[in-house]
Amino acid sequence: MASRIEILNEGGFRSDGRRQFELRTIEIDLAQQGQADGSAVIAHGLTHVLVSVFGPREARMRSHTMHDRANINVEISLAAFSTGDRRKRSRGDKRILEFASTIKSTFEPVIQTTLYPRSQIDIFVQVVQQDGGLLQACINGTTLALITAGIAMLDFVCAISGGVHSTSPLLDLTNLEENDVPNMTVAVMPKTQKVSLLTMDTRLHVERFEEIFRLAVEAGSTILVEMKAAVLGRSSRLIESVDSSTQPHGLGVENDNS
């Protein structure tokens, strides 16, 4: 059956005007959110998530305490207006539980949990708006929130979705594209080029898989540049605020032209 939408037109443009491998605009806000130890708001196009990190702190339940490392707890909530799907999703929703489990398993090898024995790191993800690439946004937002919380990690984790339309690979899929083409999400650690996550909801021919995987790894480097710029910008602002608060009154505010 023919697709109801034109995924890729004859000019090589997608339904939202992007080229095949062009990523959506990434917007990052690392401003402090509430009482969280670290937080990040990230948007990939119209997909928008808020991630808050609390900890390391004492586990709320003794059964969750591990004597040699930190326990990672991930919870996801969806804003009622975040999707056109009118069904109410609770924290016990199967898809949400799978997402939470995927994020946990993605970061367990990356967070240096042995530095925080007998503690818990809580990661709360709120989906504000979704238009494809939701898992990649959750993972990228979690990376940034953990960094702002000062939690030791081996590397950044950069995630991107990819798919194939006919024989044409695409990166950073919208919701319409995800519903129409075989797709996957890849999360890589750029420093070591190790893969922290690879998930597929649909089958993909091995030749197409290899091509999309290679493109996704390359795209991870592009996302890393954006993420590093946001982290460095936040660090600079913090340093400036500390310098201004410790600067003696009356010094450095006037130029002596004599």
Residue entry with tokens 């605009």: 25
pLDDT category, 107, cuts 50, 70, 90? Answer: very high
Cα–Cα distance for residue pair 248/145, rounded to 1 Å: 33
Write the DSSP assignment of 174-223 as a string of letters: -HHHHHHS-EEEEEEETTTTEEEEEEESS---HHHHHHHHHHHHHHHHHH
Pair of tokens at residue 54 = 């609390």
pLDDT at 242 over 60: yes
Q: For 7-31, how does the pLDDT look when each residue is reduced to its tens digit (9 = 90+)?
A: 888 888 998 999 999 999 999 999 9
pLDDT for residue 142? 98
Percent composition of the chain: helix, strand, coil (DSSP 3-state, to 5): 30, 30, 40
Q: For 119-143, how does the pLDDT look when each residue is reduced to its tens digit (9 = 90+)?
A: 999 999 999 999 999 999 999 999 9
Q: For 196-213, how does the pLDDT look when each residue is reduced to its tens digit (9 = 90+)?
A: 999 987 888 888 889 999
Pair of tokens at residue 134 = 């939701």
Answer whether 173's CB lies under 8 Å from 179's CB.
no
* Omega prior to 56 cis, within 30 of 0: yes
Cα–Cα distance for residue pair 82/78, rounded to 1 Å: 7
pLDDT for residue 252? 41
- The share of the chain scoring above pLDDT 70, in percent, equals 89
Compute the CA torsion angle 217, 223, 228, 234 (nearest 10 deg): -150
Domain 26-235 = CATH 3.30.460.80: no
pLDDT category, 217, cuts 50, 70, 90? Answer: very high
CA–CA–CA angle 232, 234, 235 (5° rounding): 65
Q: For 28-85, how does the pLDDT look when each residue is reduced to its tens digit (9 = 90+)?
A: 999 988 999 999 999 999 999 999 999 999 988 787 789 999 999 999 999 876 665 5
Helix 94-107, helix 134-148: angle, nearest 10:
50
pLDDT at 244 over 80: no
SS3 sequence of 73-109: EEEEEECCCCCCCCCCCCCCCHHHHHHHHHHHHHHCC
pLDDT at 231 over 60: yes
